[in-house]
Amino acid sequence: MSQIASFYLLKDGQRQELSNGDCSGAVYMAIWDWCESELDLDVRFPAPQTEDTLDCALLEGELVSALLAALREQELSELAAEIAPDWNLPTESVQSGLETLRSHLELIQGDTALLYEMI
């Protein structure tokens, strides 16, 4: 089973691919799990999932603001050290994923959204 993680900036019907930070889909699944369990943010609900998609998340509007605020309040290295063991992942990979996600969220303005897909 492949775990190719992809991020896209969505604006005006256009889809621009962004870096995945060289992280696997497992890293982002761990991050989404943290969002859902620790922040009570359901990032997966509104995402358009196809039959080829193993995992996906759509981040827009207030969800972006809430997640970005939470990530800005955290020391990402400490957060990565908290998340990584539960998923048997290298802390450095989780930290890279968190940094990538935060930088992508900072791009979201107005009617722009961030789509994550793992295939």
Going residue by residue through the chain (119 aa), what tens digit of pLDDT does each one get?
457 899 999 999 899 999 999 998 899 999 999 999 999 988 775 556 667 777 788 899 999 999 999 999 999 999 999 999 999 999 999 999 999 999 999 999 889 999 998 88
pTM metric for this prediction: 0.89
Paired residues of 116 in beta bridges: 7, 57
CA distance 51 to 65: 29
Residue given tokens 């019907």 in the structure block: 13
